[in-house]
């Protein structure tokens, strides 16, 4: 039998089981960090491809709407909920196919449905229905639909939950938080944003 020796952890001691000392609070921890670090130089304006991991020096606010219309956040079907009367179920003919960014020329009014995709322009009386049971040319909704879920537990996303355009003047990038890859989606291509320099101890 071969006996293998336990491998000692090469860590810095944070994994120690010694709990004799008390933990410090968040405020004290932040104060210690601030006392032992200082900014390197002044804030600088950099392109987004150099911004990952940096901290914005000031808030970034939208100068224009992007895109110029409210749009659906995912694929599904749009219906006018005011047309659904009674307890259901409802069988709705699919009368239109609305690709992303395309102007809505076919009115979705009455007991009908329209195939929509992420980025389709939307309006307040429209509800996007996700993964409802659909056959070619028609959709069937269960009686519990208006409560938020259909009989199969498929979620309904209402207008308030869809993607809204970045309004002029609204905050699109907050200061003091690290710039992440997901933040780049809300910024225009080629933008220059002012970031705080890295800190050193």
What's the pLDDT score for residue 130? 43
Q: 73: helix, coil or strand? A: coil
> How far is it between the farthest Cα atoms of the chain?
79
What's the pLDDT score for residue 6? 64
Distance from C-alpha of 74 to C-alpha of 132, rounded to nearest angstrom: 13
pTM over 0.85: no
What's the pLDDT score for residue 48? 74
Joined tokens for residue 20:
């004799």
What's the pLDDT score for residue 153? 34
Per-residue pLDDT of the chain (201 residues; tens, 9 = 90+): 667 666 665 555 555 555 566 788 899 988 898 888 876 677 878 777 777 777 777 777 766 666 666 667 667 777 766 777 776 677 778 777 878 777 667 666 777 777 777 777 765 445 444 444 455 566 665 544 444 433 333 334 443 334 444 444 445 566 566 666 655 555 554 444 555 554 443
What's the pLDDT score for residue 41? 72
What's the pLDDT score for residue 138? 62
Distance from C-alpha of 106 to C-alpha of 112, rounded to nearest angstrom: 11
Cα 58 vs. chain centroid, distance in angstroms?
A: 22
What's the pLDDT score for residue 66? 62
Residue 163 contacts residue 149 (beta carbons within 8 Å)? no
C-alpha distance from residue 34 to each of 27, 43, 147 (Å): 11, 17, 50
Residue 61 contacts residue 187 (beta carbons within 8 Å)? no
Q: Sketch out the chain's domains with CATH numbers.
A: 40-65+166-200 (3.90.105.10), 76-161 (2.170.190)
| 140-145 LR contacts (CB < 8 Å, sep 24+) | 140/89, 140/90, 140/91, 140/92, 141/79, 141/84, 141/88, 141/89, 141/90, 141/92, 142/88, 142/89, 143/87, 143/88, 143/89, 145/84, 145/88, 145/90
């Amino acid at each position: 039998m071969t006996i293998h020796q336990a491998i000692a952890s090469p860590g810095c001691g944070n994994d120690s089981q010694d709990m004799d000392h008390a933990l410090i609070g968040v405020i004290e921890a932040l104060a210690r960090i601030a006392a032992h670090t200082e900014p390197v130089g002044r804030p600088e304006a950099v392109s987004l491809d150099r911004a990952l991991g940096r901290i914005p020096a000031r808030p970034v606010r939208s100068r224009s709407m992007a895109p110029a219309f409210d749009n659906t956040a995912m694929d599904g079907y749009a219906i006018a909920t005011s047309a659904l009367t009674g307890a259901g179920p409802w069988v709705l003919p699919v009368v239109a196919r609305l690709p992303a960014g395309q102007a809505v020329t076919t009115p979705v009014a009455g007991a009908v449905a329209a195939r929509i995709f992420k980025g389709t322009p939307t309006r307040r009386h429209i509800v996007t229905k996700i993964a409802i049971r659909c056959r070619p040319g028609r959709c069937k909704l269960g009686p519990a639909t208006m409560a938020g879920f259909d009989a199969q537990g498929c979620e309904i996303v209402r207008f308030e939950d869809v993607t809204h355009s970045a309004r002029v003047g609204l905050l699109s990038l907050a200061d003091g938080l690290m710039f992440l890859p997901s933040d780049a989606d809300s910024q225009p291509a080629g933008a220059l944003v002012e970031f705080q320099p890295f800190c050193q101890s």
